[in-house]
Structure 1
Amino acid sequence: GGEGEGYKIALSALEGGRIGIAAQSIGMARSAFECALTYAKQRESFGQPIFNHQAVGFRLADMATQIEAARALTHHAAALRDAGQPCLKEAAMAKLFASEMAEKVCSDAIQVHGGYGYVSDFPVERIYRDVRVCQIYEGTSDVQKIIIQRALS
């Protein structure tokens, strides 16, 4: 870029990075969700898979819904960026929502697994530890909220 365009270039790079982190968060959440879904269909309690218990089924339904909502936000931000449109707010929204959603989904996946969810033999324990950084790099969740707030003014 030309002289005086450094800030604009830096912001553009952050947009792409934030969209990428949103996508990474979704992938991690999806992996934890799939582990929980498989476990819920295999693990039995009171003579039936725990998937059939309403509390577990509702938790899985919420997890799936949150993942799809994050995907929609992220696809929207990515489409704007691909079209060369400004997307600072949308990228921040996607990163904020997806990274916080991923931590919640991973926490819920651990709950579905019960005591096994916290054992290192099960992948949800590792995913839960790894997903936390998505709320930190390329700007913390609070930084994303500042960006969104400024864009709304």
Structure 2
Amino acid sequence: AARLLVYKAAWLIDQGRANPSLSSAAKLFASETAVMVTYEALQIFGGYGYSKEYDIERYYRDARVGTIYEGTSEAQRMVIARTLMGKVKR
């Protein structure tokens, strides 16, 4: 699902119809899903998950950076909310 959201957002940008809300939703969903999945893997590995001998600790660090780099998850939520609030008729 995350991959398809990213592809859709990128395709719209290529078509000249950029959608900031969709781009933010794609980044938010993809980055938070990556953190959730790698965190669960880290839990499965237990203490070994924190050891540099196994790649899982690097995967988790890389996923965590994704929620911060190019706009935090909170900033992405604000972009989505502003777009939605702009579409609500008062």
- TM (norm. structure 1) is 0.52
Whole-angstrom distance in 1 between the partners of 2:18 and 2:49: 41
Q: Please tell me whether residue 81 in structure 1 is matched to residue 19 in structure 2.
A: no
Matched with 2:84 is: 152
**Aligned partner of 1:83: which letter?**
Q
Whole-angstrom distance in 2 between the partners of 1:112 and 1:83: 42
Whole-angstrom distance in 1 between the partners of 2:21 and 2:47: 39
* Structure 1, unaligned runs of 5 or more: 1-68
Q: Does the CA contact (< 8 Å) of 2:25 and 2:80 recur in 1?
A: yes
Alignment of 1:19-58 (within 5 A): none
Whole-angstrom distance in 2 between the partners of 1:76 and 1:127: 25
**Aligned partner of 1:134: which letter?**
G
**Aligned partner of 1:113: which letter?**
F
Q: Does the CA contact (< 8 Å) of 2:35 and 2:64 recur in 1?
A: yes
Q: Which has the larger radius of gyration?
A: 1
Whole-angstrom distance in 2 between the partners of 1:109 and 1:80: 33
CA positional deviation for 1:139: 1.1
CA positional deviation for 1:111: 2.1
Provide Cα deviations, 1:49-106, integer angstroms capped at 9, x if missing partner: xxxxxxxxxxxxxxxxxxxx11111111111111110211111001111111111111
CA positional deviation for 1:134: 1.0
Regions of 4+ moved over 4 Å:
none
Whole-angstrom distance in 2 between the partners of 1:110 and 1:138: 25
Choose from 40, 44, 47 the match for 1:108: 40
* Structure 2, unaligned runs of 5 or more: 86-90
**Aligned partner of 1:100: which letter?**
E
